[in-house]
Structure 1
């Protein structure tokens, strides 16, 4: 194997892909190749970043053999419904990292475990802000307990942040599809632990953690940086449910509008027992710009996997790393974490 590893970033000219590429190039992690269907966009991004470009269409297998020649790792930054490309990469013994947030997709990739092992390929999933950092924070809390009963994951997104159109559409589609009975709870965010209303939401991390950490009672909640706007939005949900046609319009509108902050925060509470007593552990994260945090977590995952290659198979981030492995780097990026625990655990909100 060559001394310098070559990393193909599919969707490398997109909202998150360019941020991952910039970090890997600045840190000289490996030889980065920007790839996608649009050769002009790939070439332009590569020229700006100072790396190479390539063309690949994940919907056309004819592109794959050539695009993956001399590639050691593939980082995919676009959503996929099927796993044909992941299967192709793993069958060639490559490292495959995906920043998608779809548990349906995760479950399909997990079915490639045997294929990956036979061909010495390695897939790493749940790489980003949520899932990803959320998974590591739940693990950090759970490890302080003798027995875990449940976990609550709160995710705060800033309305003034530069969210990509794909991320906005993804969130809106899940809001439109949310069940009528989706509950709203109050969760603490920030070092001042200010309470925000948060909506039970179908993020992938809760499903993944039930499988990887065996915490069956896990729930994820969504809120925005403005408590007032969050309450108003959640009260208006009945008007949005089922209105799929409204998603493109709202996506276009929200992609152009900026109001609120660029805040990105997490509130994790895991309850259980320690030394026979009921115990609660809470970890809070406070940062800025969700896409930047996703890119940082992904870049750190790339560095870790290249330096200490995991066993062949399909992995989620929390099975390979701990929060302590990346805490210092997140702090350097402006993020802050705070952990508190105590005997008198609050009633679980899941």
Structure 2
């Protein structure tokens, strides 16, 4: 395990939809030690400039941990942290970026620093529920994750851009499927490139993992994925179309702020299900990130780069959040997809 650190915490993007909650939560645990930052407010820092980011860390001098609530274009900012022995919590959700940070494992171990990846709702809590279901069936050979997101919440720019990028990505070979979701009935969800499915295949050794997405609005779900089948994904690969879609999605608020997650695991005739529901996806993502940073600062995590489901100390995060009223845990009766 690493040792507890007494330095300050830099929250990059600390004034955004996720970062402001991370900052508030950490300030409650570590009063006077939290520094919100961004390109125009607080500590001036730009994750797109790794060398400049490193100079900021050096100038501050006593940064013990950094929480990235904005997604950098590459792993340079993570490398700047880990090479200096600064713990890192990365809210990023792009598989390419997460793989780049994971490749810094050796640097982190040598410096005695910890990086926690797959932090949030999806990836994050989805990983933890999948790991539970996987263990319950004695090692799954197939896992299905279903995520329902509310369209009424005002998401940050990175989240909206990530959604558009997901629509532009080439669809996987998986098919849509229908699953009962607590509080929302049986919903049709569509394969979507959440990073958790790629992480879990490698981390848990499960050959078949698929994450599917639906929205709380049935009509908007049908329209969005119908448009993808009709060619929206190919069109969204053009920069001008992508910018227009990002602006349009950022302005759509037709549903509520609720979310639901369901994790199904199968092995032979065994089937386990875990689920959770809550409100305000951005807030819950922030609370997961803040608790991961707290664990790093208190020296309870091993050095190196780790996805959240590989850290036993964080396995109880769903119960912690449920106790605080941030979400509700469910154990639906096993039922196959439809």
TM-score (ref. length: structure 2): 0.90
The alignment's C-alpha RMSD in Å is 2.2
1:264 to 2:234 alignment = no
Report the Cα distance in structure 2 between the residues aligned to 1:330 and 1:30, rounded to whole angstroms: 27
Equivalent residue number for residue 48 of structure 2: 59
What is the match of residue 206 of structure 1?
197
Unaligned runs of 5+ in 2: none
Take 2:172 and 2:267, find their aligned partners in 1: how far apart are those partners?
Answer: 30
Mapped to 2, the partners of 1:128 and 1:84 lie a distance apart of: 21
1:141 and 2:133 aligned: yes
Residues 24, 30 of structure 1: 8 Å contact kept: no
Residue in structure 2 matching 1:34, options 28, 33, 36: 36
| Alpha-carbon shift at residue 182 of structure 1 (Å) | 5.9
Counterpart CA distance in 1 for 2:29 and 2:113 is 25
CA distance in 2, matches of 1:172, 1:142: 30
Distance 1:63 1:185 in 2: 43
Q: How much does 1:112 deviate? A: 1.1
Distance 1:114 1:80, change over 3 A: same
The reply to whether residue 104 of structure 1 matches residue 96 of structure 2 is yes
Note the residue ranges of structure 1 that are not aligned, 5 or more in a row: 43-53
Q: Deviations over 1:266-297 (max 9, x none)?
A: 01111115xxxx21111111100110110111
Bigger RCO of structures 1 and 2 (CA < 8 A, at least 6 apart) = 2
What's the offset of the Cα at 1:254? 2.7
Structure 1 residue 3: Cα displacement: 6.8
Q: Is the 8 A contact 1:263 1:287 kept in 2?
A: yes
Residues 29 and 317 of structure 1, relative CA distance in 2, 3 Å threshold: farther
Inter-CA distance 10–315: structure 2 relative to 1 (3 Å threshold): same
Q: 1:281 to 1:2 in 2, by over 3 A?
A: closer
Residues 159 and 224, structure 1, Cα contact 8 Å, conserved in 2: yes
Distance 1:264 1:2, change over 3 A: closer
* Cα distance, 1:29 vs structure 2: 6.6
C-alpha separation in 2, matches of 1:57 and 1:340: 44
Task: Report the number of matched residues.
Answer: 328
CA contact (8 A) 1:162 1:289 kept: no
State which of 102, 106, 117 in structure 2 corresponds to 1:125.
Answer: 117
